[in-house]
Chains A and B, each alone.
Chain A
Amino acid sequence: MHKPLLSMMIVTAALTAAPTLWAAGAADAIHAMEPSVRMAPPGQDQTGAYVTLHNSDKRDHALVKAASPAARATELHTVVDEGGMKKMRPVPKIDIAAGGQTRLQPGGPHIMLIGLTQPLREGASVPITLTFEDGSSKKISAPVRAITAPGAMSHGH
């Protein structure tokens, strides 16, 4: 049958299993808080995923990859402001300093889901696998939230 698919699955399984064999990888030191995926407006097939990554380790770490079955491609991006121009760019990694935290949020570093495989439903959960610089990885489940402006989200808390 589909040999390439099968071998891909084996590789994927091996990659997913590998981190659990290593002790104290970045994935163990990094805590993912308040994950969310922004609802894509109807007719649009890409959106952002956000999470706060806290690094409890004494060493710096970095998020180097994100993957999700919800999209054709999952990438790390950031938005920079140059002279009033908003520029979104792919980035190879997102740093998380030792003892610090990095917020993936609108207008800053974030995960891009490009080519959604099916329309998102508000409240549904999107699985995302985060891979760190040492190859360790962590699976998170990000609920789909209505589009709100940053700041407006904290309303009522």
Chain B
Amino acid sequence: MGRLLPLAAAVLAAVVLGMLAAHLAGPRPDEPALPRGGDFTLTAADGPVALERLRGRVVLLYFGYGSCPDVCPTSLALTTAALKALEPAELERVQVLFISVDPGRDTPETLKQYAGYFHPNIAGVTGSPETIATVAARYGASYRMTPVDSAAGYVVDHSSVTSVIAPDGRLVEQLPHGTTPPEIVAAIRRWLPR
């Protein structure tokens, strides 16, 4: 019995530490429940991009469109500033996917130019309207093509949220529009394996 006590104490300590670690690593309690996320395959100019193949990296997802002149560039500029603040070893394990919800105007080629302008770790991807709708629904992104009285023809109303996917493929955080570069860096580092 006397020998078992230290063992029991050690087990208890391990359980408490484990719970503490899970608490620290998990979503903060004030955050709303996250959409379920999940794997997908979309198309980039250089070939298909499967989330499954990006295990081991922190993946940031942003749904937008190329001819979005105001909201998307702001979001991508914030993300770019965060990427530039990372150490090279960290950057190797971070991938940003800019998912175009406007396949009528954006092709994988134009998206490659568009995303690459911001940062080499940002890839522009798209897919069929059905695939995009499925992926957007899984990640809680909403968008709607809206005709407007403008030479632009139509605009795309869309949510402006950056999803953070952990190296094991789980959707773990969603960063609201306007999240600052230091906050984006902190979110990436929370999930990068040490």
Chain A interface residues toward B at CB < 8 A: 38, 40-48, 72-73, 75, 77, 79, 81, 84-90, 106-107, 110, 112, 114-115, 147-152
CB–CB B150/A114 < 8 A: yes
Q: Measured between alpha carbons, how far is A86 from B150 in the docked complex, in Å?
A: 17
Chain A nearest CB, measured from B133 CB (Å)? 16
Contact of A152 among B77, B151, B155 (CB under 8 A): B77
Contact A86 B151, CB 8 Å, known A41-B66, A147-B77, A152-B81: no
Instruction: Please name the residue on chain B nearest to A47 by beta carbon.
Output: B69
Which B residues touch A45, using CB under 8 A?
67
Of B3-11, B23-31, B111-119, B165-173, the stretch lying at the interface with chain A is B111-119
Q: Are B148 and A48 in contact (CB under 8 A)?
A: no
Contact with A along B143-172 (1 / 0, CB 8 A): 010101111100101111100000000000
**B70 in the interface, Cβ–Cβ < 8 Å?**
yes
Query: How far, in Å, is A156 (CB) from chain B's closest CB?
Result: 13
**Count class of interface residues, chain B:** 35 or more
* CB proximity of B102 to chain A, nearest CB, Å: 12
Residues of A within 8 A of B71 (CB): 79, 86, 88, 106-107
- Shortest beta-carbon distance, A73 to chain B, in Å? 3
Report which of A86, A89, A112, A147 forms a contact with B158, defined as CB distance below 8 A: A86
9 closest A-B pairs by beta carbon, nearest first, are A73-B151, A149-B77, A43-B113, A41-B117, A43-B110, A42-B113, A114-B151, A87-B157, A149-B78
